[in-house]
Structure 1
Amino acid sequence: MAAETVSHEAINALTAQIKQQSEPFQRIVGQVNQVLVGQEQLVHRMLIGLLTGGHLLIEGVPGLAKTTAVANLAKAIDTGFQRLQFTPDLLPADLIGTLVYRPQDQTFVVQKGPIFSNLILADEINRAPAKVQSALLEAMQEGQVTIGSETFPLDEPFLVMATQNPVEQEGTYPLPEAQTDRFMLKVVVEYPTRDEELEILRRMSKTHTKFDVKAVTTPAEIMAARRLVDQVYVAENVENYIVDLVMATRTPQAYGLDLADLIQFGGSPRATINLALAAKANAFLSGRGYATPQDVKAIGLDVLRHRVIVTYEAEAEERTSEAIVQEILDRVQAP
């Protein structure tokens, strides 16, 4: 919505509509939280991915319920789900499908692969070689898959949630910058607190644990919610703030930040688009028809942390891209 064409009445009407349409997403949280303990941020980011069609890269050490979170989110939505275990011997055809020869009528027919679903869990994505990662790239970016000479559109909603383990590097293929830029958010999953760990112990330390996660929404409701997210009002000063944050990753000296020697590459225009979209989705989940600078700040680290490439000098000083992005978020003036 353009800033000059939106009245307070229109924003209030949109807010009332959003409060009603965001209710299924609260039900999703309730269902997923039957299983998960203390992963509120991960669940929230998955909902932002659903609302925007933005893909997620989820990073964390083993045993933090990354796979469980995605699998149970899929159960809470009446839609297709495929879990793909990425391994070094995986082939692109194992992902997207292939042409199969039928000798009885001497023709080739398309056999579609598991990518033809709605929610895709790409488990340990960095264990697959580059040719498999690039096959996933077309599906993520274009919403389509090419098999032979035919191109097939993927059903909406289509969302890839990829996990990677940061501690084991043997037998892994690091994701190139062009691939990580395709992920809207990179979510880092931390260890639970002591109280959360105690709750996990009490809930999970049984030989047979089963939770009845029910489907509480449909793809049609998700697509309707996406149309409302598109209408969320972003004021001109908030738009300028988003652009300033991304520009500060490219030319930090223009914003009084002494970071130029630490940043090799800043955020791309895709970062600007994703930051605006994620801020609008955050406002939607908060039941508002307008985005605020706080929405931008709340989601900024997850949008930018994988898009800022640090220099060797930064590595020598043990300055991570995450710390640099956090400094930019702290120091660039919000409206």
Structure 2
Amino acid sequence: MSKTRTSAPSTHAWTTATGPTRAEFGLLRARWIGRRLELAGYGRYTDRAEAHPGGTRVWLTLHHRASSRRVSLRGTPQRLGDNPDETPQPRHCHDRSGFTALIDPIRLATDGQWLQGDWELQASLFAGLRGALPGRLRGQGAAAHLGPGPNGAETWLPARWIDRDVRLQPGFLKGRLQLTLEQVHARLTVAHQADDGIHLSGFAPSCPEGTVMRLRHCQSSTVTMLPVRFVRSWKTTFAARLPYQAFTAGGAAERGGVGPEYWETELLRPDGSVEPLTLDERGGPVAGGYPLPGSATRALHLTHLGDGRLRICLQPAAAHEFPTCRAQASHHVPLHP
């Protein structure tokens, strides 16, 4: 049997004695179930129906881009839903071409160490003596159920904390699912309001004395430096204060404007390297809105854009919550530092 691959990103083909055989793959749903990520989709031949029920099998492979590490997952066959809009309609009957698979994050570690970086998801369709056709899972209905993501990602699932300082972030980039496993070096765990500003505290073991908090105003690129105090113990904790005047002087609130303003935050080490601040709400909510003293119409909000990185927003006080923040908090695994 001679095999000829096509260059199509989600449809792949062989040439056999009976003519071309093509396969296509699609991802319809991705969601967290406890500590594991559930995927649901389909893998099928486009030029013929299934030979018999359960005759095709989908295998998934997670490929770590920075190494040769691969993790194989066998899909569990499922019937596709009855909703005609759930998946593109093929020429042939493929009611049994669906699958589900569970990704356990523990499999992304080797020799007790997490393999950080990006993991790319690939798929293969197996059917008896025909062998296997490789391909990529592209988001179909899944993209409609997820919010927009940061850093160029089209859609972004809430991250999961899988260890004390380790998160797993699924996202769709160019329609393809990838998992980003990262070690978080600066976690914000507590925020409360006081007369002189909003007080923040958390853990930053990799930041030495002399580290400051840098705020960058997204609309004007103005940079503000705030002092950070460290307490060294078996866990390195930090504390910082967000003074109200840092967000009102010369801004829309002082000019009487009503449009929201945004600041990005990070910790700046003495050597010039930076560490983003990540919200860690496993011990309780951190994101939320705080009324601005002296203003009945403006509030200061701690929020993020789906990636968990702390953003500060000054906006009308009526918007007390961000939907993104509520979704993020509800998806955290109950682990504690």
Task: Return the structure number with greater relative CO, CA threshold 8 A, min gap 6.
Answer: 1
Question: What TM-score bracket applies, with the shorter chain setting the length?
Answer: under 0.3
Normalising by the residue count of structure 1, what TM-score does the alignment of the two structures yield? 0.24
Rg larger for:
2
Normalising by the residue count of structure 2, what TM-score does the alignment of the two structures yield? 0.24
Higher strand share: 2
Higher helix share: 1
